[in-house]
Structure 1
Amino acid sequence: MRVEDKQGTIRHKEGNREMKRTFCQICKCDCGIVAEVKNGKILRIEGDRENPNSRGKLCVKGKNSLDVLYHMDRLKKPLLNTGDKGSPKWKEISWDLALEITENKLGELKTRHGPESVAFLFGTTSRTLDTSLVRRFANVYGTPNVTQTWSICVGPKVLAYLATFGGPSYPTCDFANANFIILWGANPLVSYMHRYHGVVQDILKARRTKGASVVVVDPRESETARIGDFHLRIKPNSDFYLAMGMIQYLIDNDLYDHDFVREYTTGFNKLRESLGGYDLETVARKTDLPIEQIRQITERLAESRPASIDRREGILHSVNGLQTARAIAILMSLTGNVDVQGGLIFNPPIKLNNITLEERLPTGKKPFWGEQYPLASDGSGYLAEAILSDRPYPVRSVFVLESNPVLTLPNTKKVINALKKLEFVVVHDFFLTETCKFADLVLPACTFYEKSEVDVGLLKKVRWFRIRRKVVEALNESKSEAEFVRDLGIKMGYSNEFDFPTEDSMLRALLEGSDAERYSLGELEDGIYLEDLRPGYLRERGFNTPSGKIELVPSILRPFHDDLPHPVASPTESGKYPFLLITGPKVPPYYHSQFRNTQTLSKLNPVPCAEVGKGIAQKMEISHGDIIEIRTHVGRLNIKAAVKENMHPFTVSVPHGWADCNANVLTDDLITEPLSGAPMYRGIPCQVRKALEFP
């Protein structure tokens, strides 16, 4: 039978067993889950077949998510470090004492250094409700320094598409209705992010019903490249030249969509006049791709409308990330594939109540990254430099919320030195991570099964909104981020601002004034459908740019002298560093630095391996299974080699997230895309040689 519980939650109940609908929060797919609960414990889970996006499917991480919830090593109580940073000695304390210590430290820091000396760093698992409450606390306290993963993830493409197409809608590709698909620096078979719900099915449908071709642009032979019709094994960090070469070829050979360009774009003549140096011979030399392959792909793009080009971190983690994303946006526009079925379409956002109290933040306060990267929404990659340099002002405390910067931020040695310098470091997490070694206080966090949240459905194929309420009560003394800052706010005298006695009251505050406000929380747990995607809406109404059109030469970038696409100078191969390094390719059982401590998932991929191109292997006499040393100007790493035939021959690729084989000891936090601050995780000049053993 179906019953309505006291909070309004709709549940399926049989005796003392309940089947509760929820959604995963490991990545931003938010896949639907049905959990079988008995006596307050989850017995098993399965995919929710009624979820219109995930349709009953769960990845290997979602299927094994109970291993985290019930892991024996989960933090149970707050821990105070009575030892040194790097060599901690942990003492269990109460939450009351933890809040008291934090209150006193924040008071001291505000008096001595100003509130801006405190920063909050989120990981990718923190979502709308948690981040809203933390930003609310930061604004009331007076610090502008709340940073997440924008700059080290999506920043370049967000700025590029915002400048070209305007906001606030979210662009996504209509793969199922495309005749031609280019996946550029994207590997959806493994990196199964929110935009890729059902992408394999969509591609197969497009192939079956429309004869669509799939092109994968990637130095690696990724899992997706293996199912593509064409694989362009491009030289790392040369994607900008390929995109610009395709643009010049389209224009020089009159292959662009004249009607679309004339009616829906501005800046075409200025763009055309600026072109030069992107002929196919030059581009082939820059990219290590055959001229005929570049010509063939460009002509197919022009002929096979509608077409979709998607771009992911493979092109974004570069000093040219923003410029490459802009060039791809121009390609889509020149071929008439914007705001059309089968091309690039736009999701209207759901408007939730802004509960961050941003008006409480004193005017004129810039975040620590604001002067260096004025267009960036956050600055995680710049955090270590800001701490160590005291520029633009001292940062003396960082709250690390479900993040592991020692493994995920660039230049690990520098990150560790920065953490050691700080006066007060608080980590809120499930486990004692590598970052916890440098903390003063560690607090136990809730998994997604133990806390409430909203799924806003951005970039998903079906426009669907839902909330999640906790499936089981928090284990031990775990708290969500929202509960933690609420309790801290009350402790610090902000009772009026944090009058949220329950998570339901937080949800209601977030929903106030939104389209979802009229529904009960129980109804919202089952989900509601939002406005469908309608290609053509922006072409009819006008794009949200200053001109109302697609801006091939964006006016908002003119003050930064970046309105015309241009390459950004970056380190290149040399006699000392003759090869190119890629870091960060995804490994299926893991999500960034997570899950390597779980029994089931760790067995699936227990040892990190570097993929080595055959050109490097032949030159340096490296065989499959050898231990190799990779060295950059920042650091060195020993790792097992896996020689690959079908990748760019002079490239080596290292996955990230392993504590004992950390790719970020090789990366540089100050070689960045100049507007977004995105670090150069890919295309790094390096040495590779055979090593005798692990150090």
Structure 2
Amino acid sequence: MHTEKTACILCSRVCGLTVDIEDGKFVKIKGDDEHPISKGYICQKAARLEHYQNHDDRLKHPLKRQADGSFTQVTWDQALSEIAEKLNTINKESGGDAFALVGGGGQGNHVGVLYGQQLLGAMGSRFVYSSLAQEKTPDFWVNGRLFGEQTCHTTEDIEHADYVLFIGCNPFQSHGIPNARDTLKAIKKDSNRTMVLVDPRKSETAKQADIHLQLRPGTDAFLLSAILAIIVREDLHDRDFLAKHCTGFEELKKELLTLPIEEYVHRADVPLEDVYRVARGFATAKTACVRIDLGLQQTLHCTLNAYLEKLLYLVTGNFGKKGGNNLHTYLIPLLGNTDERKTVKGKKLKLTAHHKMIPIAGLYPPNILPDEIEHGGIRAAWVDSSNPLMTAADTAAYERAFNKLDLLVVVDIALTETARLAHYVLPAASQFEKWEASGFTLEFPNNFFQLRKPLFEPHGESLPEPEIYTRLMVKMGLIPDRFPVLERIAKLEPKATGHQLFLASFAAALSLKKSWMRYGASILYRTLGRALPDKAAAAAIFFPLALEYAAKYREAVLRAGFEGNRFTLAASLFRAILSRNSGTIISEHEFEDVWTLIKNKDGLIHLHIDEMLADLKDLRVEAQPFTDHPFILMAGERRSYNANQIFRDPDWRKVDKDGAMRMHPSDAQTLNITHGERVICKSLIGQIEVTVEIDDSVRSGMVTLPHGYGMRFKNSDPIGPQLNILTSGDHCDPFTKTPYHKHVPVNIIKTNTALSRATA
């Protein structure tokens, strides 16, 4: 048995782990005390990662689908040769608009995406359909308007805030904040600190909160605008902050002063006195911050919600300070800036053919992909580390569309539901069988990064994504397999030079062969990568990223303890990333640095957004949503034993094996439904059978179902609810196409009644 350092891969926190390994298995998993952020923290989900690493559905070989739908094992050479030929043919016949990249990355799985994006250059496409665009693009779009670029992203300093406002999230289960349960406990114990939760469900976090505003589902915009109106009406906004750092407040103020506060609070169905208490408490706290998640981001008015929640900390001056909300830096460039008002390098943004949809942060929404395949000319899709048949809205629409593709390739560690439809399935090494890292290191003022070395040999013939994509680029005739001169320079150059000779040679090679510039990641992988210790070739891409980071944030990198000039500082940072198994602090900023991260030319925050003020006005005349479905389903609840789709083996769950539907006791009594009974949950587009859990944590008139279920294991029937049979791609934000997964109208029907109707 031996002990190694790694990280959890189940949520954005990527907490550090110390693992004991024996006979190719995890035998003990605990928190890593030396991790610079999590410092030994661990939750119960991470302790069961053996169920991810070793299970019966792991892929061992490349597979090719036959005419009858079955799969046959093929060699890597055959699979990649045939795929390359098909991609080149489709590109020649139909151009880049016929190709889409789906997924890429995932929790704790971001090295591969840096190589996979080369496919876009190879195909001349800009179409990336990402889970981030299913969840976060309203947030990215509003950030672009407020701060100047969609790459600007805020984080929250909950650990040091006196007043914490959680909206649409349950960090006790979903985490998303440092050492979530310990942090919540610390706030609860401190009588000088206040915790508020805004959520339709009485969650585990709600039980620790000082105030719980258990609003009616879908009314967040009414409640948040009422809170802002109270703050402005009572002159609790931070005049000095607004005058010094913002523009456009006066137009916003005029609108807020005329809002009908009592009417909006009544719409949200929460006590008026509690709303006043929260507005005054948040505005007058010494430090306050806001933490939001999908409960706010995937419900009605989600783009307006993104605007309003940011106004809470901006109007009160809780920005750019300890205990407030702040911008942060990135090592891995997760996002682009695709402002529809501007061109990118002189070119107009690439719109989708059917929906004419704009990209936001360089991403396109999965909601529209089935239509773009069926009506927009997409002929080939490459799915990486994603299972959209299970995770994107309208499973049936995805199944129809994917079956019409000329080429569907899936890269994954298991034969997922999406992979079952693919023409080729390429087995990827697991996250513990390759060099890996996470891009979700979004800390401020101190940011960190952890590069994780492989702990096991790849399963069967599976390969790390950098190797898969590099071989594919070679097969497509885009780059040679070897670069002898660059390889020799990389091996012979002393480390102390900061790789200056190699970088000069690399730049010269790209200038001579400009077509290679699109494939720099694979060229680095084949050259500098082969000179790195411990077979860390995939990590070569982090040297130019370290070079860029050290140049942008030199003073912050120096404060973190690194030394050197432009090249040697980056080399020092790169070496630390490679060698420090528990991760390392890569930058130490000061709170004043936040203002250097704003991208507006005037350095100010632009509060006046025409589209958002128009949406705010429209709330006044918006009728109550009408539906003949009496219940609102909140799809995708976080629970003790659900995670993302990488956990396929159902044995990992200690409780809630069925992924039960939670229903209020009064609703169950009205429908004569008992605890544990099987019922039909039916939406406008589909129905599934679920188990009922009677639970007073939900409001009457709403039900909840967890995500992360509905998968097959060892060729079984689906285990647990297949949520996206119920969700429609059309039920979404009209601008960003973000699905309203937290506000799905449904009927609940006793099973025998539903079956008799179906038979009739």
- State if a TM-score over 0.5 links the two structures: yes
Contact kept in structure 2, 1:353 and 1:510, CA below 8 Å: no
Residue 310 of structure 2: aligned partner:
329
Residue 664 of structure 2: aligned partner:
613
Q: How does 1:254-333 map to 2 (within 5 A)?
A: 254-275=235-256, 278-333=259-314
Contact kept in structure 2, 1:24 and 1:62, CA below 8 Å: yes
Q: How does 1:33-112 map to 2 (within 5 A)?
A: 33-37=17-21, 44-84=28-68, 88-112=69-93
Question: Relative to total residues, which structure has the larger helix share, 1 or 2?
Answer: 2
Q: 1:445 aligns with which of 400, 404, 428?
A: 428
Residue 196 of structure 2: aligned partner:
215
- Distance in 1 between residues matched to 2:674 and 2:27, nearest whole Å: 46
Residue 696 of structure 2: aligned partner:
645
For residues 177-235 of structure 1, the C-alpha deviation after alignment (integer angstroms, 9 at most, x for no partner) is 22211110011111123xx1223333433444562121111111112112112211111
Residues 19 and 624 (structure 1 numbering): CA distance in 2 closer, same or farther, change over 3 Å?
closer
Amino acid at match of 1:401: D
Question: 1:607 is paired with a residue of what secondary structure?
Answer: coil
Residues 482 and 620 (structure 1 numbering): CA distance in 2 closer, same or farther, change over 3 Å?
same
- Distance in 1 between residues matched to 2:381 and 2:346, nearest whole Å: 20
Contact kept in structure 2, 1:149 and 1:378, CA below 8 Å: no
Question: 2:101 is paired with a residue of what secondary structure?
Answer: strand
- Distance in 2 between residues matched to 1:657 and 1:199, nearest whole Å: 21
Residues 653 and 42 (structure 1 numbering): CA distance in 2 closer, same or farther, change over 3 Å?
closer
Residues 199 and 192 (structure 1 numbering): CA distance in 2 closer, same or farther, change over 3 Å?
closer
Residues 626 and 598 (structure 1 numbering): CA distance in 2 closer, same or farther, change over 3 Å?
closer
For residues 107-127 of structure 1, the C-alpha deviation after alignment (integer angstroms, 9 at most, x for no partner) is 221122223312121252474
Contact kept in structure 1, 2:663 and 2:703, CA below 8 Å: yes
Contact kept in structure 2, 1:47 and 1:57, CA below 8 Å: yes
Q: 1:187 aligns with which of 170, 193, 198?
A: 170
Matched, 1:24 2:3: no
Contact kept in structure 2, 1:119 and 1:145, CA below 8 Å: yes
For residues 516-546 of structure 1, the C-alpha deviation after alignment (integer angstroms, 9 at most, x for no partner) is 433426434453323224334335x583324
Residue 453 of structure 2: aligned partner:
469
Residue 161 of structure 1: aligned partner:
143
Q: 2:417 aligns with which of 427, 434, 438?
A: 434
Residue 662 of structure 1: aligned partner:
722
Residues 220 and 655 (structure 1 numbering): CA distance in 2 closer, same or farther, change over 3 Å?
same
Amino acid at match of 1:69: Q
- Distance in 2 between residues matched to 1:353 and 1:413, nearest whole Å: 30
Could you state the TM-score of these two structures normalised by the residue count of structure 1?
A: 0.88
Contact kept in structure 2, 1:140 and 1:361, CA below 8 Å: no
Amino acid at match of 2:155: T
Residue 370 of structure 2: aligned partner:
385
- Distance in 2 between residues matched to 1:615 and 1:22, nearest whole Å: 47
Residue 491 of structure 1: aligned partner:
475
The Cα shift of 1:347 comes to 2.1
Residue 411 of structure 1: aligned partner:
394
Matched, 1:508 2:540: yes
Residue 638 of structure 2: aligned partner:
586
Amino acid at match of 1:639: V
Residues 611 and 43 (structure 1 numbering): CA distance in 2 closer, same or farther, change over 3 Å?
closer
Question: 2:737 is paired with a residue of what secondary structure?
Answer: coil
Residue 7 of structure 1: aligned partner:
none
The Cα shift of 1:491 comes to 1.0
Residue 598 of structure 2: aligned partner:
543
For residues 344-376 of structure 1, the C-alpha deviation after alignment (integer angstroms, 9 at most, x for no partner) is 123233377999xxxx99965726388323435
Residue 692 of structure 1: aligned partner:
752
Residues 428 and 33 (structure 1 numbering): CA distance in 2 closer, same or farther, change over 3 Å?
same
Residues 343 and 112 (structure 1 numbering): CA distance in 2 closer, same or farther, change over 3 Å?
same
Q: How does 1:185-264 map to 2 (within 5 A)?
A: 185-193=168-176, 196-209=177-190, 211-264=192-245
The Cα shift of 1:447 comes to 1.0
Greater mean alpha carbon deviation, residues 400-409 or residues 281-290: 281-290
The Cα shift of 1:592 comes to 2.7
The Cα shift of 1:441 comes to 1.3
The Cα shift of 1:258 comes to 2.1
Contact kept in structure 2, 1:468 and 1:525, CA below 8 Å: yes
Q: How does 1:620-631 map to 2 (within 5 A)?
A: 620-631=671-682
- Distance in 2 between residues matched to 1:679 and 1:651, nearest whole Å: 18
Greater mean alpha carbon deviation, residues 394-403 or residues 640-649: 640-649
- Distance in 1 between residues matched to 2:475 and 2:623, nearest whole Å: 50
The Cα shift of 1:100 comes to 1.6
Residues 363 and 103 (structure 1 numbering): CA distance in 2 closer, same or farther, change over 3 Å?
farther
Q: 1:574 aligns with which of 626, 636, 644?
A: 626
Kindly, what percent of the aligned residue pairs are identical? 23
Query: Unmatched 5+ residue regions in structure 1?
Result: 1-16
The Cα shift of 1:643 comes to 2.3
Residue 490 of structure 2: aligned partner:
none
- Distance in 2 between residues matched to 1:352 and 1:551, nearest whole Å: 24
Question: 2:399 is paired with a residue of what secondary structure?
Answer: helix
For residues 366-421 of structure 1, the C-alpha deviation after alignment (integer angstroms, 9 at most, x for no partner) is 26388323435322423433334423xx1111111121111100011111111111
Residue 173 of structure 1: aligned partner:
156
The Cα RMSD (Å) is 3.0
Q: 1:597 aligns with which of 643, 649, 655?
A: 649
- Distance in 1 between residues matched to 2:705 and 2:582, nearest whole Å: 41
Contact kept in structure 2, 1:185 and 1:312, CA below 8 Å: yes
- Distance in 1 between residues matched to 2:142 and 2:117, nearest whole Å: 26
Contact kept in structure 2, 1:376 and 1:676, CA below 8 Å: no
Residues 488 and 688 (structure 1 numbering): CA distance in 2 closer, same or farther, change over 3 Å?
same
Residues 511 and 694 (structure 1 numbering): CA distance in 2 closer, same or farther, change over 3 Å?
farther
Residue 128 of structure 2: aligned partner:
146
Contact kept in structure 2, 1:354 and 1:510, CA below 8 Å: no
Residue 6 of structure 1: aligned partner:
none
Residues 42 and 309 (structure 1 numbering): CA distance in 2 closer, same or farther, change over 3 Å?
closer
- Distance in 1 between residues matched to 2:622 and 2:57, nearest whole Å: 43
Question: 1:592 is paired with a residue of what secondary structure?
Answer: coil
Residues 266 and 22 (structure 1 numbering): CA distance in 2 closer, same or farther, change over 3 Å?
same
Q: How does 1:525-540 map to 2 (within 5 A)?
A: 525-538=581-594
Contact kept in structure 1, 2:236 and 2:283, CA below 8 Å: yes
- Distance in 2 between residues matched to 1:33 and 1:307, nearest whole Å: 31
For residues 537-572 of structure 1, the C-alpha deviation after alignment (integer angstroms, 9 at most, x for no partner) is 335x58332442222214xxx4x6767745579996
- Distance in 2 between residues matched to 1:270 and 1:288, nearest whole Å: 28
- Distance in 2 between residues matched to 1:62 and 1:680, nearest whole Å: 29
The Cα shift of 1:28 comes to 2.4
Contact kept in structure 2, 1:381 and 1:679, CA below 8 Å: no
What is the aligned length?
662
Amino acid at match of 2:282: L
Question: 2:747 is paired with a residue of what secondary structure?
Answer: strand
Greater mean alpha carbon deviation, residues 323-332 or residues 657-666: 657-666
The Cα shift of 1:47 comes to 2.5
Residues 419 and 352 (structure 1 numbering): CA distance in 2 closer, same or farther, change over 3 Å?
closer
For residues 603-655 of structure 1, the C-alpha deviation after alignment (integer angstroms, 9 at most, x for no partner) is 43311111113453344333322323222222222211222224221111122
Residue 341 of structure 1: aligned partner:
322
- Distance in 2 between residues matched to 1:546 and 1:567, nearest whole Å: 31
Residue 487 of structure 2: aligned partner:
none
